[in-house]
Each structure stands twice: as C-alpha cells, then as structure tokens.
C-alpha cells in the first residue's frame, strides 16, 4: 500500500510529498517529535483530511477503524453503549463484555464521565479493535495506561487484529510489548 501526502497549514508544509509505502498486514509504527505531523499523516491516509498531493493513493480504497488522539466517547452514555453505537449493532453484547474483561475493565455499564482517563482510553481501543475497518489506526492508544495495562492492551490488539494492517503512533520512549514490522520516521 502506497500513498504520497502533502499538507500545508497557514502556508507552512507539515508534510511535503511524504511517501508511506507499507506491506499490507504489517504493524507500522510512525515516529516524529511532537508537532511533527503524525496525526496529520494518519488523517490524510484515512481521508479525514484532503491530500494536496495529486499522486495515486492506494489507501483511498480501504476502510479505517480509529483510536483518535482524543477519546471521542459520549460522556453521558455507558462504555458498552458507546461501543454498541460505534459498531452499529454489528458486534454482539457478549463479545463487547468479553473485550472489557480482557482489558481488566470491570463495569461496562458505568457512565463514561465517571470513568478514569485510562479506562476511557481502553474503551476507545475496544471500539476501534471490534470495528470492521480493514486498516486500524491507533494514535497514542496507551495514554494514561501503566505498564501492566499497556501489556494487556498490546495483547488485546494482537488478539483482535486478525491480520489487518495497523498504523501506530506512540511516544518514542515507550517500549512496547508488541511486535512492530516496520518503523517509519517523519523526520526529513
Ligand atoms: N487543523 C489545523 N490547523 C492548523 N494547524 C494544524 C492543524 N492540525 C495540525 N496543525 C499543525 O500541524 C503540525 C502537525 O500537527 P500534528 O497534530 O499532525 O502533529 P503530531 O506529530 O501528531 O503531534 P503530537 O505528537 O503533539 O500529537 C503542528 O504544527 C500543528 O500545529
Ligand atoms: Mg498527534
């Protein structure tokens, strides 16, 4: 899968003809300093942002499941309802409950605004991994998770990936207990 991406904000190039060329089915870690364009690249790849580069883009024919950099959960609903809503009724209740257990979350019916940051992050991860996009995008999915929770999250990702291509952004200092096939740097 290959695409070349260009994006300017306020006349400044965040990405200027950056080519992402990866094998289908790989886990790819994207690295750059803060503000280096990681989220912008993910948004361009998934079509959430318009690509200014006119070259061909293989990613355009794919569907995407996201963990956004922000949780983007509905506060007034339970975690369970958030995930049911986002997966459009295609994932049964038992599968979602099982996912909560796998990640050490004990109360799927708790309102999101009563949950901790780390709980919300894990719910955002469940929502992405149980969704049926053929490319999975995880933008800093481990924020707020300690090393034990992070290890569970990595195991959960491996269990629910089913061979799909995965693009991962995580802090550079994070040592991840997950096999990464390729690391891509956005530095020039
Ligand atoms: N909608 C926008 N309007 C204007 N500038 C933007 C917009 N989105 C991103 N930028 C700018 O583009 C640059 C790259 O931002 P981006 O969020 O892609 O970086 P990042 O590598 O994901 O950073 P972080 O590690 O902090 O999440 C930054 O300078 C940011 O201010
Ligand atoms: Mg970002």
Radius of gyration for the chain, computed over Cα atoms and rounded to the nearest angstrom: 17
Q: Name the residue with the closest Cα to ligand 1, atom 23.
A: 35
Domain that holds residue 181: 2-185
Ligand 1 atom closest to Cα of 41? 18
Strand order in the sheet with 182-185: 64-67, 135-139, 165-169, 27-31, 182-185
pLDDT in tens, 4-58: 999 999 999 999 999 999 999 999 999 999 999 999 999 999 999 999 998 889 9
Number of domains in the chain: 1
Q: What is the pTM of this model?
A: 0.96
Does residue 174 carry a pLDDT above 90? no
**∠40-44-46 over CA atoms, to 5°?**
120
Please give the distance, rounded to the nearest whole angstrom, from the Cα atom of residue 39 to the centre of ligand 1. 7
CATH of the domain at 176: 3.40.50.300
Q: Name the residue with the closest Cα to ligand 1, atom 9.
A: 40
Mutation choice for ligand 1 from 13, 16, 36, CB with most ligand atoms inside 8 A: 36
């Amino acid at each position: 899968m290959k695409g070349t991406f260009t994006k300017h904000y306020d006349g400044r190039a965040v990405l200027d003809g950056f080519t992402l060329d990866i094998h289908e089915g790989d886990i790819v870690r994207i690295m750059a300093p803060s503000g280096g364009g990681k989220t912008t690249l993910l948004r361009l790849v998934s079509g959430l942002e318009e690509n200014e580069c006119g070259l061909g883009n293989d990613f355009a024919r794919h569907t995407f499941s996201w963990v956004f950099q922000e949780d983007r959960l509905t506060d007034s609903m339970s975690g369970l309802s958030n995930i049911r809503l986002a997966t459009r009724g295609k994932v049964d209740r038992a599968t979602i409950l099982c996912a909560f257990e796998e990640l050490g979350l004990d109360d799927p019916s708790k309102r999101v605004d009563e949950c901790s940051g780390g709980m919300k992050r894990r719910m955002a991860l469940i929502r992405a991994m149980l969704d049926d996009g053929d490319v999975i995008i995880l933008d800093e999915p481990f924020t707020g998770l300690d090393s034990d929770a992070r290890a569970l999250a990595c195991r959960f990702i491996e269990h629910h990936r089913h061979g799909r291509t995965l693009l991962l952004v995580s802090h550079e200092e994070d040592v991840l207990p997950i096999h990464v096939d390729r690391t891509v740097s956005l530095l020039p």
